[in-house]
Amino acid sequence: MRHLLALLVLLSIAPGCERDFPAPEPAVQVTGLSVFEGFLDDRVVIQGQNFAPGLGDNLVTFGTALAAVEEVSPGEIAVRVPELEIGAEVYVAISTPTGQGSSEQPFRYLGPGHPLDEWRSRLIRLETALATNGPSSPDPPPGRPAPRPGSAPRACRPPRRRSGPRESLPRPAGRSSR
Higher pLDDT, residue 67 or 125? 67
pLDDT of 131 reads 76
Whole-prediction pTM: 0.54
> Are 40 and 111 in contact, with CB atoms under 8 Å apart?
yes
Stretch among 7-21, 83-97, 109-123 having the lowest mean pLDDT: 7-21
pLDDT at 85 over 60: yes
Higher pLDDT, residue 125 or 57? 57
Sketch the domain layout of the chain as residue ranges.
Answer: 29-111
CA separation (Å) from 112 to 61, 64, 82, 93?
17, 17, 9, 21
For 91-145, how does the pLDDT look when each residue is reduced to its tens digit (9 = 90+)? Answer: 999 999 989 999 999 999 998 876 676 676 677 777 777 777 765 555 555 666 6
Q: Which band of pLDDT confidence, cut at 50, 70 and 90, is reported for residue 68?
A: very high
pLDDT at 16 over 60: no
> Shortest CA distance to 93 belongs to which of 83, 112, 107?
107
Residues of the chain with pLDDT > 90, as a percent, come to 43
Question: What dotted CATH number matches 29-111?
Answer: 2.60.40.10
The Cα–Cα gap between 114 and 82 comes to: 14
Instruction: Give the count of beta carbons closer than 10 Å to the beta carbon of residue 92.
Output: 25
